[in-house]
Chain A
């Protein structure tokens, strides 16, 4: 929080108060000014050569007013005090009425600092280049079948400032840094893609002790393994989903449907299910933005609410939704520190941070040994869900068959589909090996960094797609 008292756009608390007063002048019950100054940097290396660099400055503000459930908002790039006052007036003019709510005294809350990026930028980019070269080398040296390697390093450094009529006065500083390696394997006929990703809400210090060569090698392993895999033969079967990015199943199949964005509008299969059983008894899940330095962590959310650990599912019972300020009025549900936006250009709303299943009692080996026939989904790809129907899909990037309690041959092209309300009830084993995966989640308020995580789990039966077989 080194930037606590910095000002962007010359907006002092006094000016912010004026803007909010104008915004509330026609009966608005809540008003907010959000300001942002951010830098995005991308370094892209292809085949060991630095191919491009992008550097973007993002700087702007958003003002919103809520009255009786209607939110009017404006996002403006040119955000001087005059412009924001004029914007507040335009927003207020959308309503007709007398002033009912005053701006509360701003209170700077002490916040527990969980992310504190340090070495964001050095004197030169040698550290960045070393990482990219290391990952590239690791991938290329793994196999002669690797024909192309792309390594990317992205840094998204953000300062945000929030003033709201409820007395909120918060700033936050974040830097989401991520290394990605993509390797392409070819045998002259087929081509397969393998990737690896590692991200934290930290500066370059996150790479102290990190081995980029091993990281690149893993991307290459995934590509080569799938190059020599058979096509998945589709059907319904038990599916063992491995730890780490496997947690995308929780993210897609359930938690998008717990976001107030869907729930407040009655557009989720989990509406009205608080206190009810939505998963098997062994399932516990959290969304926790308050973990030290994690990729999806934030000190405060984009409404200035401190992040916290939200227990979503306890022993199979739904305990909480993810709720932002606006929807908390509507749903009569406490706010959960989950309001996020890609930038001031998007309207903020309830989103995930670090979301994962808690560990269970089984071991990974027990789960495999107890599965007569099924799919072992080792590395998951992305997926999507329609929260209103709960129907989801996701790609499996690296998969194997399980036969007679043993992992046997690799299979490619497996896709999992299902319904969120069924799949959680079918989880019958959970291992004790919790790990995290690093993703970008795209939804209404833009693309934001989120962790998906889990220990290895088994789903008793699921539809698996694939084009193999002779039927």
Chain B
């Protein structure tokens, strides 16, 4: 069946509106190990997600083929399932005809280069990492991937949109070893231009991270001023991004539910969600419901301006749609940020560290998927990093736990760095200095 035939057939089965979202993904990935191509994997994937609306209820199905029989049986299941739903908040399908802010297509030139070029790039990464120091004993991860994706979104209410993008991602992870202790440093690059992949930066960053962590010791349990490296700050902000989403508000899974218009964070905190953000890799005109994306300040000088919404949650809270409805697992729509970032400050990372007399610089965290509670805001994550003494990086430390509460922490940010990541994907945050957090160690 064609996409139009799917829509027509869905309507025949009694659905009031039908939407199809078809995506084609091509990706290739190369991994190198000890100078040799370890694996080369190619993917050609297709999927079509079909949503059907009836009596304000929405059900959805996903197929990986346009085969008549497969689609027919899924459409029938969809028509059956939609009658079973009894949620009270109405669902919507977006009408066509909106004006969209045009964005430049993200287009990579990777097809101009051969597999041999890509292998050569990985060999250079690996050998250069090994050459940095005798203590770099191995490059455990040395990987290059290229992805091209094309999306088409159509519905029975006149919506007809499409978007394509392609990019390259590369990452390297050298292993340093000394006296039976090991440490890994990871660095990556996302790019569109094969020639602009920042090989030298990745080599320097990853090897330095691994080498600096050698000899890491423990830290006494206590309360310390903490500086989060920008990658770590970004990970934490990303892990808590659900607190700003309409779905979380609907499910009462965020403490911000009744706080719109109130001051929730320190005055120095402004958090933006900007689909057209210059420093982000991907720019979007519309979300996966076809709603035009808009740029907004989610938190402005500490005041919470409002949730990021899908059509359903916007309606439920009586708000305008924000263009944040995106597909998650199984083809259903949920609210997600476009490009969300904490607005940067004026100090460099080193200037921030120089303000700390006796504290901790956290350069890596683990366990964010499990050690945080988006409802209460509490987090407890594994950390590694350095002791800061008299404004300078002192000794490396590992296996401690950083504990705090996201809402309290955002009221205790002393300094914000000026170093937001270029070409970020999803969520970004500059270096942050927090007045005090609990550290559990020895």
- Using CB atoms and an 8 Å cutoff, list the residues of chain A in contact with chain B: 40, 42, 46, 49-60, 69-78, 90, 94, 125, 129, 147-148, 150, 184, 186, 190-193, 232, 234-236, 265-267, 269, 345, 347, 381-386, 388-389, 391-395, 412-415, 417-419, 463-469, 471
Contacts A/B (CB < 8 Å), 13 sampled: A56-B331, A57-B65, A57-B74, A192-B376, A235-B442, A383-B367, A384-B367, A384-B369, A386-B366, A395-B371, A415-B403, A466-B401, A467-B403
Tell which of B38, B329, B332, B440 touches A466, judged by Cβ atoms closer than 8 Å: B440
Whether A467 contacts B40 by the Cβ 8 Å rule is no
| B98 interface residue (CB < 8 Å to A) | no
Whether B81 contacts A347 by the Cβ 8 Å rule is no
Tell which of A51, A56, A192, A347 touches B41, judged by Cβ atoms closer than 8 Å: A347
User: Which of A54, A186, A419 has the largest count of B CB atoms less than 10 A from its CB?
Assistant: A54
Whether B39 contacts A73 by the Cβ 8 Å rule is yes
Whether A389 contacts B44 by the Cβ 8 Å rule is no
With A234-B401, A469-B438 as known contacts, state yes or no: A192 contacts B381, CB within 8 Å: no
Whether B442 contacts A465 by the Cβ 8 Å rule is no
| B398 interface residue (CB < 8 Å to A) | yes
User: Which of B45, B62, B140, B380 has the largest count of A CB atoms less than 10 A from its CB?
Assistant: B380
With A235-B221, A464-B440 as known contacts, state yes or no: A55 contacts B39, CB within 8 Å: no
**Complex interface: chain B residues within 8 A of A56 (CB):** 61-63, 330-331
Tell which of A190, A191, A382 touches B369, judged by Cβ atoms closer than 8 Å: A382
* A184 nearest CB across to chain B (Å): 6
* B130 nearest CB across to chain A (Å): 13
With A57-B64, A417-B400 as known contacts, state yes or no: A395 contacts B41, CB within 8 Å: no
A234 to B437 alpha-carbon distance, docked (Å) = 12
* A280 nearest CB across to chain B (Å): 20
* Known contacts A265-B33, A345-B45, A471-B223, then 16 further A-B pairs from the complex at CB < 8 Å, ordered by chain A residue: A53-B60, A55-B60, A55-B61, A55-B62, A70-B36, A191-B252, A235-B440, A265-B138, A394-B371, A415-B403, A417-B382, A417-B399, A419-B399, A463-B400, A464-B440, A467-B437
| B378 interface residue (CB < 8 Å to A) | yes
A49 to B87 alpha-carbon distance, docked (Å) = 5
Tell which of A54, A70, A265, A393 touches B367, judged by Cβ atoms closer than 8 Å: A393
Tell which of A55, A74, A77, A148 touches B64, judged by Cβ atoms closer than 8 Å: A77
* Interface residues contributed by chain B, number (CB under 8 Å): 77
Whether A384 contacts B366 by the Cβ 8 Å rule is yes
**Complex interface: chain B residues within 8 A of A394 (CB):** 367, 370-371
* A199 nearest CB across to chain B (Å): 17
* B63 nearest CB across to chain A (Å): 5
Whether B373 contacts A192 by the Cβ 8 Å rule is yes
* A2 nearest CB across to chain B (Å): 19
**Complex interface: chain B residues within 8 A of A463 (CB):** 218, 399-401, 440-442
**Complex interface: chain A residues within 8 A of B405 (CB):** 467
A419 to B180 alpha-carbon distance, docked (Å) = 13
A78 to B63 alpha-carbon distance, docked (Å) = 12
Whether B65 contacts A52 by the Cβ 8 Å rule is no
- Using CB atoms and an 8 Å cutoff, list the residues of chain B in contact with chain A: 33, 36-47, 58-65, 70, 74, 77-78, 81, 84-88, 115, 138, 140, 175, 182-184, 218, 221-223, 251-253, 255, 329-332, 366-367, 369-371, 373, 375-376, 378, 380-382, 384, 398-405, 437-442
With A148-B251, A412-B378, A417-B399 as known contacts, state yes or no: A49 contacts B330, CB within 8 Å: no
User: Which of A193, A388, A391, A467 has the largest count of B CB atoms less than 10 A from its CB?
Assistant: A467
**Complex interface: chain A residues within 8 A of B384 (CB):** 391
Whether B39 contacts A72 by the Cβ 8 Å rule is yes
Tell which of A148, A385, A413, A471 touches B252, judged by Cβ atoms closer than 8 Å: A148
A464 to B221 alpha-carbon distance, docked (Å) = 10
Tell which of A75, A150, A393 touches B251, judged by Cβ atoms closer than 8 Å: A150
Whether A415 contacts B251 by the Cβ 8 Å rule is no
A170 to B316 alpha-carbon distance, docked (Å) = 51
**Complex interface: chain B residues within 8 A of A46 (CB):** 87, 251
With A395-B380, A465-B440 as known contacts, state yes or no: A70 contacts B37, CB within 8 Å: yes
**Complex interface: chain B residues within 8 A of A464 (CB):** 401, 440
Whether B438 contacts A54 by the Cβ 8 Å rule is no
A458 to B40 alpha-carbon distance, docked (Å) = 44
User: Which of A125, A347, A388, A466 has the largest count of B CB atoms less than 10 A from its CB?
Assistant: A388
Minimal Cβ-Cβ distance residue in A for B374: A193
A58 to B64 alpha-carbon distance, docked (Å) = 6
A94 to B28 alpha-carbon distance, docked (Å) = 13
| 3 nearest A-B pairs in the assembled complex, by CB-CB distance | A465-B401, A234-B440, A393-B382
Whether B375 contacts A467 by the Cβ 8 Å rule is no
Whether A466 contacts B39 by the Cβ 8 Å rule is no
Whether B61 contacts A54 by the Cβ 8 Å rule is yes
Minimal Cβ-Cβ distance residue in A for B63: A57
Whether A234 contacts B221 by the Cβ 8 Å rule is yes
A82 to B31 alpha-carbon distance, docked (Å) = 28
Whether A51 contacts B87 by the Cβ 8 Å rule is yes
Whether A73 contacts B40 by the Cβ 8 Å rule is yes
With A395-B371, A465-B401 as known contacts, state yes or no: A50 contacts B84, CB within 8 Å: yes
Whether B382 contacts A415 by the Cβ 8 Å rule is yes
**Complex interface: chain A residues within 8 A of B255 (CB):** 191
* A271 nearest CB across to chain B (Å): 10
A393 to B382 alpha-carbon distance, docked (Å) = 6
A148 to B62 alpha-carbon distance, docked (Å) = 29
Whether B41 contacts A125 by the Cβ 8 Å rule is no
**Complex interface: chain A residues within 8 A of B440 (CB):** 234-235, 415, 463-466
Whether B404 contacts A467 by the Cβ 8 Å rule is yes
* B58 nearest CB across to chain A (Å): 7
Whether B77 contacts A55 by the Cβ 8 Å rule is yes
With A193-B375, A347-B39, A381-B370 as known contacts, state yes or no: A269 contacts B182, CB within 8 Å: yes
* A329 nearest CB across to chain B (Å): 13
A161 to B218 alpha-carbon distance, docked (Å) = 50
With A57-B74, A59-B64, A234-B401 as known contacts, state yes or no: A76 contacts B44, CB within 8 Å: yes
With A53-B85, A60-B64, A267-B138 as known contacts, state yes or no: A72 contacts B403, CB within 8 Å: no
User: Which of A60, A73, A193, A234 has the largest count of B CB atoms less than 10 A from its CB?
Assistant: A234
Whether B366 contacts A391 by the Cβ 8 Å rule is yes
Whether A267 contacts B175 by the Cβ 8 Å rule is yes
Whether B38 contacts A69 by the Cβ 8 Å rule is yes
Whether A388 contacts B140 by the Cβ 8 Å rule is yes
**Complex interface: chain A residues within 8 A of B331 (CB):** 54, 56
With A50-B85, A55-B77, A148-B251 as known contacts, state yes or no: A418 contacts B399, CB within 8 Å: yes
Minimal Cβ-Cβ distance residue in A for B218: A463
Whether A393 contacts B366 by the Cβ 8 Å rule is yes
A469 to B163 alpha-carbon distance, docked (Å) = 53
**Complex interface: chain A residues within 8 A of B183 (CB):** 389
**Complex interface: chain A residues within 8 A of B87 (CB):** 46, 49-52
A59 to B66 alpha-carbon distance, docked (Å) = 11
**Complex interface: chain B residues within 8 A of A184 (CB):** 252-253, 375
Whether A57 contacts B184 by the Cβ 8 Å rule is no
Minimal Cβ-Cβ distance residue in B for A468: B438
**Complex interface: chain B residues within 8 A of A54 (CB):** 60-62, 329-332
